[in-house]
């Protein structure tokens, strides 16, 4: 069966950033799998599995950096594939996908709430916080601290070239939080005022390195210089199991049009415009990662990975060792 237009539209919305932010991308993908499953009209379980794999690939090919996307898809598809021998008919297969998608979305929303609760306890009355881009996990902490009655002030960067900082300031101002918008380039000047940096994450590697919106690593470096603490708010489904075996997280390179519109660029010759969308902050520049399971030092990322994704990691290691065997026998 061909992939329905509704799914192609969702994939295009993620690619075009009409749906954005790692957590939201993950929940949207879970919903898309559920919708695709409901729209499937055939009766063969095998064909259904192939169709669901195709839908998964289309969703996976939208944005490469947010690890929440493959983690959400794996959460659902692994439940289907693990039970494949026991599935009697198509309705049973569809029920597995529906329940897994609902469970993922429910857990994801609960995680955001818990991160808010846990993180807000780290905020002191009078704190001045700096945030970058637009992260629902980081906002959950800031908003919860405000709800607890703490008197806080926030600086938010514009976050060029897509200006997600404008969403952040709007949300915070609507909550009644005092907030100032600053250009990305003003960070070193204003860092003197800041008590804590709180940002989100698209991916966290096994060594605790944090991948987030371009500019995050500069902010962390400047914070380090000024002895300001850097907190990363991230659900456990932002942790990347593939990094345990040394895979790198792909940094998305987006269209140059986002930096300078085509008509303007044509006035300049022999210029290449680059637009990397994310960067990597080394663990040394991160003080703590706030997850729904508690606060961990970045160096403990591997423990979260072992607990949450031990089964995937075992799978990777098994594949690697069978590749080794193949190499030996073909030599
Ligand atoms: C968004 C971004 C956010 C993380 C975390 O990038 O870098 O900080 O995705 O967000 P983009 P959340 O706008 O390119 O998607 O905490 O909402 O998951």
Tell me how far apart the alpha carbons of residues 80 and 49 are, in angstroms, rounded to a whole number: 8
DSSP state of 202: S
pLDDT, one tens digit per residue, over 230-242 is: 999 999 999 999 9
For the question of residue 13 being annotated catalytic, the response is no
Residue with tokens 């259904």: 48
Is residue 243 lining ligand 1, measured as CB closer than 6 Å? no
Strand ranges (E), the chain: 128-131, 153-157, 178-182, 196-199, 203-204, 210-213, 229-233, 278-281, 288-291, 294-296
Residue 4 makes CB contacts below 8 A (sequence gap 6+) with 35, 36, 39
Tell me how far apart the alpha carbons of residues 57 and 252 are, in angstroms, rounded to a whole number: 17
Look at residue 329 and tell me whether its pLDDT is greater than 60: no
Is residue 157 lining ligand 1, measured as CB closer than 6 Å? no
User: Using CA atoms in the order 248, 253, 254, 255, what is the torsion angle rounded to 10 degrees?
Assistant: -160
Average pLDDT, integer, range 26-30: 98
Is residue 289 a contact partner of residue 221, using CB atoms and an 8 Å limit? no
In the structure, what pLDDT confidence band is assigned to residue 1 with cuts at 50, 70 and 90? confident
What does the pLDDT read at residue 325? 65
Q: How far is the CA of 212 from the centre of ligand 1 (A)?
A: 7
pTM of the predicted model as reported, rounded to 2 decimal places: 0.95
Q: How far is the CA of 208 from the centre of ligand 1 (A)?
A: 17
Is residue 22 lining ligand 1, measured as CB closer than 6 Å? yes
Q: What is the mean pLDDT of the chain?
A: 95
Q: How far is the CA of 73 from the centre of ligand 1 (A)?
A: 18
Is residue 210 a contact partner of residue 240, using CB atoms and an 8 Å limit? no
**Which residue, among 74, 68, 69, has the nearest Cα to 237 in the 3D structure?**
68
Look at residue 319 and tell me whether its pLDDT is greater than 80: no
Is residue 142 lining ligand 1, measured as CB closer than 6 Å? no
Tell me how far apart the alpha carbons of residues 234 and 239 are, in angstroms, rounded to a whole number: 8
Q: How far is the CA of 94 from the centre of ligand 1 (A)?
A: 30
Average pLDDT, integer, range 209-235: 98
Domains defined for the chain, CATH in brackets: 5-113 (1.20.120.420), 121-314 (3.40.50.10470)
What does the pLDDT read at residue 331? 47
Nearest atom of ligand 1 to the alpha carbon of 137 = 16
Is residue 133 lining ligand 1, measured as CB closer than 6 Å? yes
pLDDT, one tens digit per residue, over 85-114 is: 999 999 999 999 999 999 999 999 999 999
pLDDT, one tens digit per residue, over 143-181 is: 999 999 999 999 999 999 999 999 999 999 999 999 999
CA dihedral for 40, 44, 49, 50, sign (positive or negative): negative
pLDDT, one tens digit per residue, over 119-138 is: 999 999 999 999 999 999 99
Nearest atom of ligand 1 to the alpha carbon of 66 = 9
Q: How far is the CA of 23 from the centre of ligand 1 (A)?
A: 7
Is residue 168 lining ligand 1, measured as CB closer than 6 Å? no
Among 66, 114, 202, the mutation site with the greatest number of ligand 1 atoms within 8 A of its Cβ is 202
Among 23, 144, 197, 200, the mutation site with the greatest number of ligand 1 atoms within 8 A of its Cβ is 200
Is residue 212 lining ligand 1, measured as CB closer than 6 Å? yes
Least confident of 202-216, 228-242, 275-289, 304-318: 304-318
pLDDT, one tens digit per residue, over 292-301 is: 999 999 999 9
Among 111, 113, 115, 134, the mutation site with the greatest number of ligand 1 atoms within 8 A of its Cβ is 134
Is residue 164 a contact partner of residue 136, using CB atoms and an 8 Å limit? no
Q: CB-based burial of residue 104 (10 Å sphere; 0-12 exposed, 13-18 middle, 19+ buried)?
A: buried
Look at residue 326 and tell me whether its pLDDT is greater than 70: no
- Count of beta carbons in the 10 Å neighbourhood of residue 233: 29
For the question of residue 133 being annotated catalytic, the response is yes
């Amino acid at each position: 069966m061909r992939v329905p237009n509704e799914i192609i539209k969702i994939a295009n919305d993620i690619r075009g950033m009409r749906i954005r932010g790692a957590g939201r991308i993950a929940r949207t993908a879970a919903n898309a799998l559920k919708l695709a499953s409901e729209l499937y009209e055939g009766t063969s379980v095998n064909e259904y599995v192939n169709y669901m794999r195709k839908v998964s690939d289309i969703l996976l090919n939208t944005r490469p950096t947010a690890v929440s996307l493959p983690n959400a898809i794996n959460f659902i598809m692994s439940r289907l594939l693990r039970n494949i021998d026991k599935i009697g008919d198509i309705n049973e297969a569809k029920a597995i996908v529906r329940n897994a998608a609902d469970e993922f979305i429910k857990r994801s929303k609960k995680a955001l709430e818990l991160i808010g609760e846990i993180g807000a306890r780290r905020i002191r009355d009078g704190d001045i916080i700096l945030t970058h881009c637009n992260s629902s996990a980081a906002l959950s902490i800031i908003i919860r601290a405000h709800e607890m009655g703490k008197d806080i002030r926030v600086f938010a960067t514009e976050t060029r070239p897509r200006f997600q900082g404008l969403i952040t300031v709007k949300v915070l101002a609507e909550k009644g939080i005092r907030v100032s918008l600053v250009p990305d380039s003003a960070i070193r000047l204003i860092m003197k005022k800041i008590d804590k940096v709180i940002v989100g994450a698209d991916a966290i590697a096994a060594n605790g390195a944090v991948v987030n919106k371009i500019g995050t690593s500069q902010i962390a470096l400047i914070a380090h210089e000024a002895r300001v603490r850097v907190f990363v708010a991230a659900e456990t489904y932002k942790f990347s199991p593939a990094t345990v075996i040394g895979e790198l997280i792909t940094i998305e390179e987006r269209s140059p049009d986002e930096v300078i519109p085509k008509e303007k660029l044509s006035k300049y010759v022999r210029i290449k415009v680059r637009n990397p969308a994310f960067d990597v902050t080394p663990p040394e520049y991160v003080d703590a990662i706030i997850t729904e399971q508690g606060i961990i030092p970045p160096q403990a990322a591997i423990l979260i990975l072992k607990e949450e994704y031990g089964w995937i990691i075992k799978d990777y290691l098994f594949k690697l060792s069978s590749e080794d065997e193949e190499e030996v026998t073909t030599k």
